[in-house]
Amino acid sequence: MAKSTPEIPNASMADIAFLLLTFFLVTTTMPNDKGLSMQLPPPPEAQPEDVKIPERNMFKIQVNSSDALLVEGEPMTNVDGLKDMIKKFILNNGADPKSSDSPEKAIVSLKTDRGTTHKRFVEILDIAQAAYYDIYADQAGVTNEEFRKIASDLNNPENQRLYDKGREGIPMAISIAEPTKAGGN
């Protein structure tokens, strides 16, 4: 006489799998990465037609597909002096006729190529933002690190006052132009 093997009932296996799937979908949290905190431009229909900006108020930085820099039409092999160049441009106040009229009108323009690496793009963007933060910190009478801490806690009235004092009259005007095709201008 052969011994029969007991069978596991599998009629409700699909129900159990569905319940487990539902449980994990409901309880799983997705990471919320911040990315780059930037203010996006308004939609095209809300933008005014053809705004003309004088060339002297534009500080142009271009990065090609090989990550090589062209700053104000001149090749730049490393980025060591770029932050100081940007600060000098923003704070020109019309002194140099080839530079910005005033901090309110100064725009730092960053144009990349489709082949530009993300690392290089973020590096140049960080340098441009750091130049503005240096200016803001100087105006507020604190160090750059202190100003960044102040900017991260604006619920404190004293921090808000210093933040407003630092940014007074100088908007962070960084223009990120649409990338060109690899190898093009």
Task: Render 58-70 in DSSP notation, one character per residue.
Answer: EEEEEE-TT--EE
pLDDT given for residue 37 in this prediction: 67
Tokens of 33: 């990465």
Backbone phi, psi, residue 184, to 5°: -100, -175
Which residues are CB-neighbours of 136 under 8 A, at least 6 positions away? 147, 163, 166, 167, 170
Q: 111 with 179: CB under 8 angstroms? A: yes
Burial level of 150, CB count in 10 A (0-12/13-18/19+)?
A: buried
pLDDT given for residue 84 in this prediction: 92
pLDDT given for residue 155 in this prediction: 87
Backbone phi, psi, residue 113, to 5°: -110, 155
Tokens of 23: 């449980």
pLDDT given for residue 15 in this prediction: 87
Q: What is the mean pLDDT for each group of 10 consecutive residues in the chain (185 residues)?
A: 75 87 88 68 68 83 91 89 92 84 88 90 92 90 86 86 88 85 57
Helix (H/G/I), strand (E/B), else coil: 176: strand
Q: CA 71 to CA 136: how far, in whole Å?
A: 23
pTM, entire model:
0.71
pLDDT given for residue 178 in this prediction: 82
pLDDT given for residue 182 in this prediction: 60
Q: Which of 123, 157, 126, 145 is nearest to 37 (CA)?
A: 126
pLDDT given for residue 57 in this prediction: 87
Q: Which of 99, 98, 89, 97 is nearest to 131 (CA)?
A: 89
pLDDT given for residue 131 in this prediction: 92
pLDDT given for residue 6 in this prediction: 79
Helix (H/G/I), strand (E/B), else coil: 116: coil
Q: CA 82 to CA 75: how far, in whole Å?
A: 12
Q: For the chain, what is the radius of gyration of the CA atoms? A: 27
